[in-house]
Amino acid sequence: MRRYPILLLDYDGTLAETRPAILRSLQEAFEDIGHTPPSRAYLQERLGKGDALQGFYQSIMEEGASVEEAQRYVAAYRSRYTQADEEETYLYDGAHEVLHILQERGYRLVALSNKHGPTLRHSLARFHLEPFFEAVLGAEDDLPRKPQQEVFTQRVQRLFPGTSAHDFLMIGDTTADINFAQALGMDVCWASYGHGVAEVCKALKPTYHFESLWELPNLLVKTES
């Protein structure tokens, strides 16, 4: 019997290495709205917190930023990201094979990401990952995002009537994934190779962790009874 019949899989830093494209687009967006971009190292450190893009921008502007300015930044980022993603993003080794194994074993798979919904769907389609997922849930305007518990109660759970958080395993790489799951009493599997800050993620004591996608199927076997 499967302990976790439904797997919630993050995308950035879990299935795909998107960090080069994200960092490039973050820096270019600063330039596009007339600001000198922070260093790549600083942006990479902040990226590990898994913040939504508008909040990310507002939090790193020392003198603060209006909602309107933050929205201009988000628009600039998105206009830059498509090309950067095409040129620099790649799947982690084993992504197709591991998802196929999990699907064949009967797990129900959901892509759950804070990446902008249309961008997430485009990326999954480009890499031919869409067929593996029963649902794809990205960030949408006016809808909750990880780590908010409402992501589960308002967006995920309604797709699976009669389930509880204990039927799901969150699989992701940042504190947004870990905090989301733990707030719900849901077990969480941390992808230690991803974008999260290792010391911070470890301190949160995720239920499981794995260092490569190839380890995930065997890890799940150990949870089955």
23 and 12 in a common domain: no
CATH number of the domain within which 78 lies? 1.10.150
**Residue where a domain terminates, one of 29, 57, 88:** 88
The domain of 26 spans: 19-88
- Does any domain span residue 60? yes
137 and 194 in a common domain: yes
Cα 213 to Cα 8, 24, 25, 83, 175: the distances in Å are: 14, 25, 26, 26, 19
CA pair distance 105, 156, nearest whole angstrom? 21
Q: What is the pTM of this model?
A: 0.91
216 and 132 in a common domain: yes
- Does any domain span residue 1? no
134 and 73 in a common domain: no
Helix (H), strand (E) at residue 38: none
39 and 124 in a common domain: no
CATH number of the domain within which 119 lies? 3.40.50.1000
215 and 130 in a common domain: yes
Rounded to the nearest 10 degrees, the angle between the axes of helix 53-60 and helix 40-47 is 130
**pLDDT given at position 64:** 67
- Total number of domains constituting the chain: 2
**Residue where a domain terminates, one of 88, 106, 133:** 88
144 and 56 in a common domain: no
Chain-centroid distance of CA 100 in Å reads 20
In 92-214 the beta strands, taken as DSSP E runs, fall at 108-116, 135-139, 168-172, 187-191, 208-210
165 and 122 in a common domain: yes
221's CB contacts (< 8 A; 6+ apart) are none
Strands 90-91 and 208-210: unpaired
**pLDDT given at position 206:** 98
103 and 201 in a common domain: yes
Cα 116 to Cα 8, 26, 92, 168: the distances in Å are: 17, 14, 20, 23
Residue linked to tokens 């040129």? 87
- Does any domain span residue 149? yes
167's CB contacts (< 8 A; 6+ apart) are 4, 5, 6, 160
The one-digit pLDDT tens for each residue of the chain (225 residues) are: 689 999 999 999 999 999 999 999 999 999 999 999 989 988 888 876 666 778 788 888 766 678 888 899 999 999 999 999 999 999 999 999 999 999 999 999 999 999 999 999 999 999 999 999 999 999 998 899 999 999 999 999 999 999 999 999 999 999 999 999 999 999 999 999 999 989 999 999 999 999 999 999 999 999 986
160 and 145 in a common domain: yes
169 and 114 in a common domain: yes
Rg (CA), the chain: 17
